[in-house]
Amino acid sequence: MVLQDLLRTVYDLLAEGQLEKALKLVDNYVFEKHADSNELITDVIQLRRQLSDIKHAKISHSLAYDDIRTQESQLTDSITVFLSLLRDFETNQAVKAEVSGHGLLMHNIPRRMAIGLPTRCTIRIGSIVEEVMRGMEQEEFATVTDIKVAKLMEVQLLSEQPGAFEITTVNRPEQEVDFETHSEWRYDVTPLLQGQFKLELKVSTVKFIDGKDRYAEKVYDVTVLVETRLEHLIHSKAPAAADWEGVAVLESGEKKKKAPILDKLEDIKKEATTKLPPYFDLDKMLEQPKYPQKGGSGGTKSIDEPGGEPTRQERKKSLEELTETVPQLVDVGPTTKSGVSRILTAVVSLIALAGVVWAAIWYFNRPNNPQVLTDASFLYDRELRSITTVLVNGQPMRDWSFGEDSSAIIVHYLVVGETYEIALVGENGRCSDKVNINQQQPLPYSLRCRIEAEGESPPAQFGLVIAAPYPFETLLLDGQPVEEARGRQEVKLPVLAGLHRVEAVFSDEMTNCEATEIEVRNDAVVKLNCVRREPPPPVPTFFRVQLQVPTKVFRASGGKIRPAMDGALLDVQPAIEQANVFFNLPEVPLGPHRFGLEGVSDAYVCDEINPNVQGDMRLAFDCRPAVYEVTITLSPEMAKDAGKAIEIIVDGKPVRAVKQGRTTYVLPEITHGSHQFELKNITCWICPNKIQTAVITASQPQLKFDCTCLK
């Protein structure tokens, strides 16, 4: 989620009063993208505490409804202020990257390409790794590195060897860098030659100095393996004409005599070269592979796939080119041969031409028979040890691997419907059988094995090299410590053939190495995957605490309020704003403290605050009026039937009451809290001499007594 989406969603939730959902989104965003910012983390923790206090007050009913609504309003304001700070923080990050010249380069250039097929290559420049890698997390070849950047950058993708690639630019090479997100360059790369070639990624910073554009360039080399497939041999873009040579038919016995013909042969070759289609390779066309060939995609391409079988128009065109070109290759000019020799030469040429034409017609009109490839699993006896060779029809295969079970081998790229003689050769025997590959067969194939009897020879031993990026403290091999490995990053040990467990243990809790199991069949090397985490930053011992006092309380006190911490007054100047006054305490030690106020007017009471300071905090004093005016209202019937002046009792003691009208009394000095009110000297003809009682809080300064009539 980007910041703009977060702000839009959180503001909508705050408007609906869903504080918990809004704060959860803010919490997840900050801990995901800015976990290294102690300032933002501290503010989020403080917002969590405010929300926790509100939820606790709702459950325990420790606060009145109006007080809870006030705290929710304050939390809404705090979240809004924090979102503004978060937006400024990310803007400052991008500005710092632009000013400092430090940025990130991401390039996604595949290391394997197919000849003749365009491949998309993407390059990005920015300052935030999440933005630079957005949408590229699953790409195998996406690489990020630090670079020097400027506001204007130029990116070029070039071929080190001319003619190896055709590179098409999708957008402009020179762009302005967007430091808040990223800038992107795209190239379509089409390989033209088979083999291993290099692409050069040239990144330039552009600065305007002394009236001219100045460039600072850096070049990155990327090695690409270009693979060739059957359909590319026939239909890919033709190489240069200089790579092809013509064919001439000469009798060996006449070479010395016919110097004029030899002199003219080079011209004939050049002429034939230009007329012979570069892709027209008869050896390749007539060759029928006996076994599936392994290619970049894991097998031969079906003729039903695009680029597989030529169309009839392509076949017809190729035959026309063949009939026009081959006679020119045979006719090499005048000769001094006799007439009989010339006739024989012509007959042989015509026979050869007829054979070539027939072979081409057969090839282009052969029935379509696409080959479907599959992988097959073969089970063998567990007693067969150290399998090093897999034979298919007597020929060794390279495309095989061990299955998840130690008694199975998977042979890749077999043709469905074909019958093979499969043989596994081990050091103590052989497993073989003739099987027909059926793609629908769900179970593995079982091979018949012949295991030789065990002799007196000791079990096979091999050398096992164990390496780690850090010096070993304790290296365990099959649970036993290896003393010679202590203090070394690499050690070679003699081990028996079979399964072994390797584990490294470090006393440093920041270093962790994954345990590895390896099956030793010959000399082997195992590299442990170790990760060393950086130690956590030291916890600061002093923090910034901000004390908040309502402005109306500060002004009613004549501006004489001074903060106190742990009973001692602090000499801190107030910062006055419209609604609140702030006292900024720059150095508050870690731990619990008591904060209070001195000089508060008698008209207000401010409660003491007792927090446990573990980070930068903002604390608000709960200030309220010292006394309230409580209005008591009687029903007209009760006031009418009063025998004498009504006496009002509060908490068992009479209080001063001011009568306003026939039915209203005002109590001017009632403190904050819960009280019990009683009325005496009430004479009601329905309920004579009955004492009315009620309990109210000072936050609800109105009380009405109703006399219940008893029939």
The domain spanning residue 494 has which CATH number? Answer: 2.60.40
The residues near 495 (Cβ < 8 Å, ≥ 6 apart) are: 461, 462, 463, 464, 477, 520
Same domain, residue pair 443 and 465: no
The CATH number given to whatever domain includes residue 168 is 2.60.40.10
Which whole number is the average pLDDT over 128-157? Answer: 86
> What's the pLDDT at 439?
66
Same domain, residue pair 509 and 579: no
Highest mean pLDDT among 114-128, 239-253, 501-515 belongs to 114-128
For residue 444, tell me if it sits in a domain.
Answer: yes
Instruction: Provide the terminal-to-terminal Cα distance of the chain, rounded to the nearest Å.
Output: 70
* Range of weakest confidence among 415-424, 544-553, 634-643: 634-643
The residues near 282 (Cβ < 8 Å, ≥ 6 apart) are: 356, 359, 360
Q: In the structure encoding, which two tokens stand for residue 359, read together?
A: 């072979």
Percent of the chain with pLDDT over 70: 72
Same domain, residue pair 357 and 237: yes
Same domain, residue pair 26 and 125: no
Same domain, residue pair 241 and 298: yes
Same domain, residue pair 512 and 572: no
Beta bridge pairs of residue 525: 465
Q: What's the CA gap between 696 and 703, in Å, rounded? A: 8
Helices and strands of the chain, counted as H and E runs: 12, 47
For residue 711, tell me if it sits in a domain.
Answer: no
For residue 710, tell me if it sits in a domain.
Answer: no
Question: Which band of pLDDT confidence, cut at 50, 70 and 90, is reported for residue 545?
Answer: very high
Asked if pLDDT for residue 370 goes beyond 70, the answer is no
Best CA proximity match to 114, nearest among 278, 225, 279: 225
Asked if pLDDT for residue 121 goes beyond 90, the answer is yes
Asked if pLDDT for residue 120 goes beyond 90, the answer is yes
Q: What's the CA gap between 32 and 34, in Å, rounded? A: 6
For residue 673, tell me if it sits in a domain.
Answer: yes
Same domain, residue pair 559 and 503: no
Same domain, residue pair 297 and 383: no
Within 10 A of 201 (CB to CB), how many other CB atoms are there?
Answer: 20
For residue 456, tell me if it sits in a domain.
Answer: no
pLDDT tens digits, 479-535:
889 988 888 889 999 988 888 889 888 777 677 788 888 888 888 888 888 887 777
Same domain, residue pair 131 and 198: yes
For residue 287, tell me if it sits in a domain.
Answer: yes
End position of a domain, from candidates 178, 200, 228:
228
- Integer-rounded Cα Rg, in Å, for the chain is 45
Asked if pLDDT for residue 336 goes beyond 50, the answer is no
> What's the pLDDT at 3?
77
- Greater pLDDT, 611 or 508: 611
Same domain, residue pair 259 and 194: no
Which whole number is the average pLDDT over 427-447? Answer: 81
Asked if pLDDT for residue 262 goes beyond 50, the answer is no
Asked if pLDDT for residue 263 goes beyond 70, the answer is no
Question: Which band of pLDDT confidence, cut at 50, 70 and 90, is reported for residue 168?
Answer: very high
Question: Which band of pLDDT confidence, cut at 50, 70 and 90, is reported for residue 202?
Answer: very high
For residue 659, tell me if it sits in a domain.
Answer: yes
Q: What's the CA gap between 696 and 312, in Å, rounded? A: 100
* Range of weakest confidence among 61-75, 363-377, 628-642: 363-377
Which whole number is the average pLDDT over 57-81? Answer: 84
Best CA proximity match to 657, nearest among 635, 680, 638: 680
Same domain, residue pair 358 and 237: yes
End position of a domain, from candidates 228, 249, 270:
228
> What's the pLDDT at 663?
74
Q: In the structure encoding, which two tokens stand for residue 196, read together?
A: 């291993």
Residue 328 structural domain = 233-364
Q: What is the DSSP string of 220-260?
A: EEEEEEEE--HHHHHHSPP--GGG--------GGGTTT-HH
Same domain, residue pair 306 and 380: no
- Greater pLDDT, 413 or 543: 543
Which whole number is the average pLDDT over 247-253? Answer: 37
Pair type for strands 429-436 and 419-426: antiparallel
Percent of the chain with pLDDT over 90: 15
> What's the pLDDT at 373?
80
- Cα-to-chain-centroid distance, residue 75: 33
> What's the pLDDT at 285?
42
> What's the pLDDT at 287?
43
- Greater pLDDT, 683 or 490: 490
The CATH number given to whatever domain includes residue 397 is 2.60.40.2070
For residue 407, tell me if it sits in a domain.
Answer: yes
End position of a domain, from candidates 170, 201, 228:
228
How many domains does the chain fold into?
Answer: 7
* Range of weakest confidence among 186-195, 375-384, 592-601: 375-384
Asked if pLDDT for residue 166 goes beyond 90, the answer is yes
Q: What's the CA gap between 653 and 651, in Å, rounded? A: 6
> What's the pLDDT at 264?
44
Asked if pLDDT for residue 96 goes beyond 90, the answer is no
Asked if pLDDT for residue 405 goes beyond 50, the answer is yes
pLDDT tens digits, 276-303:
444 444 444 434 444 344 333 344 333 3
pLDDT tens digits, 36-67:
777 788 888 888 888 888 888 887 777 887 88
Asked if pLDDT for residue 25 goes beyond 70, the answer is yes
Asked if pLDDT for residue 560 goes beyond 80, the answer is yes
* Range of weakest confidence among 65-74, 77-86, 364-373, 582-591: 364-373
- Greater pLDDT, 91 or 210: 91
Asked if pLDDT for residue 20 goes beyond 70, the answer is yes
Q: Report CA-CA distances (Å) from 706 to 299, 663, 702.
A: 96, 11, 13
Question: Which band of pLDDT confidence, cut at 50, 70 and 90, is reported for residue 422?
Answer: very high
What rounded mean pLDDT belongs to the chain? Answer: 76
* Range of weakest confidence among 45-49, 320-324, 386-390: 320-324
